[in-house]
Amino acid sequence: MARYLDVHPQNPQPRSISQVVAMLRDDAVIAYPTDSCYALGTRIENHSGADRIRQIRQLDDKHHFTLVCADFAQLGQLVVLDNSAFRAIKAATPGPYTFILPATPEVPRRLAHAKKRSVGVRITEHPVAQAILRELGEPLLSSTLLLPGSEWPMTEGWQIKEELDAVLDAVVDAGDCGTEPTTVVDWTEGAPEVVRVGAGDPDRF
């Protein structure tokens, strides 16, 4: 049964955030809000957590997770950035963008693209996600909360709790955070290529 935490969307209660982080450190899988819909998240080192997210979304082992970071310094430890990528990405973050970049050795091999050795990273602007990430002190392995057969991600915390009560450890409800996913920018070839238009303005790339 999933623990339900009703958290203020702009000023999240420190006690609630501490409870969520304690559960994550104990290998929980959570539903949490971002600036582009709700996401499923767990610690990078939690192998069983990654498998559980795949099962919830009915994804195969080729699915690429996104590593959600607290800040640019954390992001920079996970991916290789040239000067142009550094400047453009720094200017666009935090925000509703996912960037696919070459992975550093910090990224476990199982999480990187088998051939390209790339990984998706993002810095979310949502105050609740930011609070969780800052207290956790490490990125979250994440995937959009889009259930099999659904056209849109889930937007209501109570609905997530009702639907996924048996398969999640916690639901962090901070109200509706929209249904539009991130804009995805692939930078693996040395220049930006917008591969999905979402909540972030693609024109800046």
Express each pLDDT in 150-167 by its tens digit: 988 888 899 999 999 999
pLDDT at 151: 87
Output the pLDDT for position 58.
Answer: 94
pLDDT at residue 61 tops 90: no
97-102 β-sheet, strand order: 3-6, 170-173, 30-34, 37-43, 140-144, 66-69, 118-123, 97-102, 183-186, 193-196
Of 31, 36, 74, which Cα lies nearest the Cα of 183?
A: 36
First to last CA, the chain: 43
Distance CA 126, CA 168 (A): 21
Cα–Cα distance for residue pair 83/114, rounded to 1 Å = 25
The least confident of 19-33, 54-68, 78-92 is 54-68
Q: Residue 62 in contact with residue 85, Cβ under 8 Å?
A: no
114 or 95: whose pLDDT is higher? 95
Q: Which residues pair with 198 in a beta bridge?
A: none
Q: What percent of the chain has pLDDT over 70?
A: 100
Whole-number pLDDT of residue 128: 98
Residue 69: pLDDT over 90 = yes
pLDDT at 140 over 80: yes
pLDDT in tens, 8-44: 999 999 999 999 999 999 999 999 999 989 999 999 9
Q: Residue 9 burial (CB < 10 Å; 0-12/13-18/19+)?
A: middle
Condensed to tens digits (0 to 9), the pLDDT of residues 99-138 reads 999 999 999 988 988 888 999 999 999 999 999 999 999 9
pLDDT of residue 155: 86
Report percent pLDDT > 90 for the chain.
85
Q: Is the pLDDT of residue 66 over 80?
A: yes
From 116, 77, 76, 69, select the one nearest 97 (Cα to Cα): 69
62/128: higher pLDDT: 128
Query: Residue 154: what pLDDT?
Result: 85
Question: What is the torsion angle, in degrees rounded to the nearest 10, for the CA atoms of residue 117, residue 80, residue 48 and residue 135?
Answer: -170
